[in-house]
């Protein structure tokens, strides 16, 4: 590393939404340019609830990749109240790497999610035994719980209990947004890790709400107070391997975001690593980026580090105001803003295989 360029082991994205069909074709090449692998979220409609569906979805992703791409999608099972230990075993036998807990109603396409975690205990038991990680959307959904408190309440009402009932279960507390979550992960055993998004490192709720509502910063779990943002940056740059990269890039059209009932999701896939570089540089911690982006997640999932590298150049550039998406338009995170680092990447060949 010098002050002008930084070469890293190619990163992985441990939490990504790529959708399906034409939408998938619009976005997956962007991640493939930046990342070696990605954990593919299963919240399609209908969701990916068994091994056969995961295999079909994997094939669809592979066939939507740009020519010569070496990108590897890592498939995830969507847990419902009816997921059985046998489903878990079949998923493992088909190279599905994890299962995702969406509390029913917590977010996009979570209607088939879990209504009561206790119903799933036999399934969690099997995951604990086989070493399959549980990926958690950590928010309660009860109407009376304030949206800004839903993650903290989830820790106290659900996660502590699950961790204590399944001490050997590997858990990724996804897209953490609070100091409460940072503290919980730090204090837990090495089985508990977490992903952190670029938007939660670069923004807090003022960025979303002061001076007019900014729908393109709205995601779930929602941005919190500045003190939580500070705790997340601190965790990300700490060199603690429990905290690693997961963008939660979640594409929705501009129209669906700029609406009376705007969809939750921030689209960061095209410039994910540059966004993280922005946050790490601002914190004076560029030397900590490679562990967070390229090593700790792979280590947690017991996968090798990527053999390819990427190079970032210190160079100001402006994020485009919009991009083509699914025959429509999408607004990327930090659109029209200047970022200080740029990925040196060959121009994309957008023609799918």
Point out the residues that are catalytic: 248
Please tell me whether residue 340 binds ligand DOR under the rule CB under 6 A.
no
Q: How far apart are CA 198 and CA 149, in angstroms?
A: 21
Q: At closest approach, how far in Å is the CB of 175 from Zn ion?
A: 6
Give the binding-site size for ligand DOR (rule: CB under 6 A): 10
Closest CB to Zn ion among residues 87, 248: 248
Closest CB to ligand DOR among residues 17, 25: 17
3-state secondary structure of 213: coil
Q: At closest approach, how far in Å is the CB of 14 from ligand DOR?
A: 14
Contact 42, 100 (CB under 8 A): yes
Q: How far apart are CA 28 and CA 350, in angstroms?
A: 10
Q: How far apart are CA 119 and CA 51, in angstroms?
A: 21
Q: Which does residue 312 bind out of ligand DOR, Zn ion, none, counting CB within 5 to 8 angstroms by kind?
A: none
Q: At closest approach, how far in Å is the CB of 55 from ligand DOR?
A: 21
Closest CB to ligand DOR among residues 136, 312: 136
Q: Which does residue 219 bind out of ligand DOR, Zn ion, none, counting CB within 5 to 8 angstroms by kind?
A: ligand DOR
Closest CB to ligand DOR among residues 220, 319: 220
Candidate residues 107, 197, 247, 278; the one interacting with ligand DOR per rule CB under 6 A: 107
Among 8, 12, 103, 95, smallest CA distance to 59 is for 95
Q: Say what the alpha-carbon torsion angle 194, 251, 75, 10 is, to the nearest 10 degrees.
A: -70
Q: Which does residue 220 bind out of Zn ion, ligand DOR, none, counting CB within 5 to 8 angstroms by kind?
A: ligand DOR
In sign, the C-alpha dihedral spanning 18, 20, 23, 29 is positive
Q: Which two tokens stand for residue 241?
A: 């391997």
Q: Contact positions toward Zn ion, by CB under 5 A?
A: 248
User: Which 133-152 positions form the footprint of ligand DOR (CB under 6 A)?
Assistant: 137
Strand ordering across the sheet containing 5-9: 5-9, 309-318, 338-344
Q: How far apart are CA 85 and CA 94, in angstroms?
A: 14
User: Which 236-265 positions form the footprint of ligand DOR (CB under 6 A)?
Assistant: 250, 264-265
Q: How far apart are CA 247 and CA 13, in angstroms?
A: 6
Q: Which does residue 230 bind out of ligand DOR, Zn ion, none, counting CB within 5 to 8 angstroms by kind?
A: none
Q: Which does residue 294 bind out of Zn ion, ligand DOR, none, counting CB within 5 to 8 angstroms by kind?
A: none
Q: How far apart are CA 273 and CA 312, in angstroms?
A: 9
Please tell me whether residue 17 binds ligand DOR under the rule CB under 6 A.
yes
Q: How far apart are CA 273 and CA 12, in angstroms?
A: 10
Closest CB to ligand DOR among residues 90, 207: 207
Give 256-313 as a DSSP string. Answer: HHSSTTPPP-B--GGGHHHHHHHHHHHTT-GGGHHIIIIIHHHHHTT-PPPS-EEEEE
Q: At closest approach, how far in Å is the CB of 270 from ligand DOR?
A: 16
In sign, the C-alpha dihedral spanning 134, 135, 138, 142 is negative
Please tell me whether residue 18 binds ligand DOR under the rule CB under 6 A.
no
Q: Which does residue 35 bind out of Zn ion, ligand DOR, none, counting CB within 5 to 8 angstroms by kind?
A: none
Closest CB to ligand DOR among residues 127, 220: 220
User: Which 220-239 positions form the footprint of ligand DOR (CB under 6 A)?
Assistant: 220
For binding to ligand DOR (CB under 6 A), which residues are involved?
17, 43, 107-108, 137, 219-220, 250, 264-265
């Amino acid at each position: 590393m010098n002050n002008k360029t930084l070469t890293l082991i190619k990163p992985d994205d441990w939490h990504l939404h790529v959708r399906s069909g034409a939408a998938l074709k619009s976005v997956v090449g962007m991640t493939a340019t930046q990342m070696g692998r990605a954990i593919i979220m299963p919240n399609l409609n209908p969701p990916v609830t068994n091994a056969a569906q995961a295999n079909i979805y994997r094939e669809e992703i592979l066939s939507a990749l740009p020519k010569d791409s070496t990108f590897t999608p890592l498939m995830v099972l969507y847990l419902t109240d009816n997921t059985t230990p046998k489903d878990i075993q079949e998923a493992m036998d088909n190279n599905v790497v994890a299962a995702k807990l969406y509390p029913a109603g917590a977010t996009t396409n979570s209607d088939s999610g879990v209504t009561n975690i206790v119903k799933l205990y036999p399934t969690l038991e099997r995951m604990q035994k086989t070493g399959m990680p549980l990926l958690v959307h950590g928010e309660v959904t009860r109407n009376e719980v304030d949206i800004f408190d839903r993650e903290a309440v989830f820790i106290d009402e659900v996660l502590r209990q699950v961790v204590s009932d399944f001490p050997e279960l590997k858990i990724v507390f996804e897209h953490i947004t609070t100091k409460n979550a940072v503290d919980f992960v730090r204090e837990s055993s090495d089985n508990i890790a977490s992903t952190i998004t670029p938007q939660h490192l670069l923004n807090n709720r003022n960025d979303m709400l002061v001076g007019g509502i900014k729908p393109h910063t709205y995601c779930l779990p929602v941005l919190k107070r500045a003190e939580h943002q500070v705790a997340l940056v601190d965790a990300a740059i700490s060199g603690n391997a429990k905290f690693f990269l997961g963008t939660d890039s979640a594409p929705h059209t501009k129209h669906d975001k700029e609406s009376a009932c705007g969809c939750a999701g921030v689209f960061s896939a095209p410039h994910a690593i540059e966004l993280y570089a922005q946050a790490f540089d601002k914190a004076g911690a560029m030397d900590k980026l490679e562990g967070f982006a390229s090593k700790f997640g792979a280590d947690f999932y017991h996968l090798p580090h990527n053999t390819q590298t990427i190079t970032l150049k210190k160079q100001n550039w402006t994020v485009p105001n919009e991009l083509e998406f699914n025959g429509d338009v999408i607004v990327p995170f930090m659109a029209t803003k200047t970022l200080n680092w740029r990925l040196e990447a060959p121009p994309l060949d957008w023609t799918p295989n």
